[in-house]
Amino acid sequence: MNILITGAKGFIGKNLVKALENIRDNKDRREEFSCLRPLTIFACDIDTTDEELDQFTSKADLVVHLAGINRPKNDEEFLKGNRDFTKHLLELLEAHNNIAPVLLSSSIQATLEGPYQNSLYGNSKLQSELFLLEEGKQSGRPVVIYRFPNVFGKWCRPNYNSAVATFCHNISHGLPVTISDENHEMNLVYIDDIVLDILELLRSFAQKGTLDSGYREVKPVYKATLGEIVHLLNEFHASRKTLQIPRIKDNSFEKKLLSTFEGYLAPDDFIYDLKENKDERGNFAEFIKTPDRGQVSLNVVKPHNTKGNHWHQSKWEKFVVLSGKAIIKQRKIGLDENGEQYPIKEYHLSDERYQVVETPPGYTHSLHNPSNEDPAVCAIWCNETFDPENPDTYFEEV
C-alpha cells in the first residue's frame, strides 16, 4: 500500500510515520497489520517540493491529511495553510484521476460552538471539511474526518498548541507553571490511541478496498481539569525522591500521562541515586513504591553473612536471587501441638535458575550467603510499603 501523509513532521504525523515504518520494516509483528505490506510511505511536509507532492498524489492509495496551520504569523495564514492547501491537495489528486480515500485531521474547534464560536482556526478547519466533503460527493472519494480535542503524548511541542506538553516541559525542567483556572476541564485523547485508530482504518481499507465516509471519533476521550493534570505531573516529578509509582491501571489517563511526562525529562534526569543502607553484612535500598501494590527493594548480602531473622504480622515478601547464591531459611513462629518449635525449611537459590521464595506472615526468615567470594544480590517485593512508624518487623532467630 502507498500511503501519503501530509504534515509528516508534526506531532501526530511523526508518531504515525514511526508506527508505519515499524510495520513496513517488520518490527511491528502484529498479524492484523501485515495486510499493509508491502508498504510505501510518502512523507510530505513544508519542505516537500511541488514536484514531489505531484508524484506522491499520483501514486497514493490513501491520504492521511494532517498538515495545517494553528499558530500563524497573521490571520490570513489560517485559510491559506488549512483550507487552501486542502484544495491544492485535492486538485493534484483529481489531476491524476486518483480517488484515494482522504483521512482529515480537523479540530473540535471546527464546531464553532461555545468557546470556539469566533475561532479563526476553527473556521479554517471547517472550510477544509466542507470542501473535502463536497469534493468527495462529486468524485466518489471516501472522506473520513477526525475532529480531535486536545491531544497529548510524546513528541508534542511545548509552548505551542498543547497545555499538557507545556506543563510536562516546565515541571520536568523546574520551571513555573501558570494556570488561569485550575477547574477548567479539558477533553483529551492520547496520541497512541489516535495512531491505532488510523491503523485500524488502513487495515480495513486494505482488506475491503473502500472506507465509509463520515466523521469519526477516537476513544477513549479523557476528562481532566488543569489542576488535576498539574497535580499528577508534580507527583510524577517527585517520584525520583519518593520512589512512588502512582496507580496506573491499564488504559487509564494516569498511565498515559506518565508515559507522556517521561518523554519531557532532560537526559541528565534519567539517572538518580537510591538511598543506600550499608552495614558490615551488605547493602539494602528501596527501589519502587506504590500506593496499592507494595514496594520493590534490592538487597546485597556479603559472603558468609546473614540478614533477616525476623517475622511480620501482616507483611509478606517474594525473594529472587539475581546474582550469586543464597539460602533462605523459614520457620513458623510459636510451638506445635507437642510444645516443640516448628521445623525449619531451607531454600537454596542461585542465579543459575531464577526461582521465587515467598515469606508469609507469621514465619521468621533469614537470608544467608554461603559463598566464600561472591555477594548475593536479591530483589525483594513486599506487599506493603515500609512504614517507619509501624515497621511490622520483629526479631526472632530462625
Q: Which residues are catalytic?
A: 116
Shortest CA distance to 99 belongs to which of 65, 129, 132, 136? Answer: 136
Q: What is the DSSP letter of 25?
A: T
- Contacts for 355 with CB less than 8 Å, ≥ 6 apart: 320, 321, 347, 349
- Contacts for 26 with CB less than 8 Å, ≥ 6 apart: 37
The Cα 109–Cα 28 span in angstroms is: 34
Do β-strands 295-301 and 306-311 pair in parallel, antiparallel, or remain unpaired? Answer: unpaired
Compute the radius of gyration of the chain from its Cα atoms: 29
Q: What is the DSSP letter of 244?
A: B
Count the neighbouring beta carbons within 10 Å of the beta carbon of residue 236.
22
Could you please report the per-residue DSSP string of 35-56? GG-S-EEEEE-TT--HHHHHHH
Do β-strands 363-368 and 376-382 pair in parallel, antiparallel, or remain unpaired? Answer: unpaired
Cell of 67: 498538515
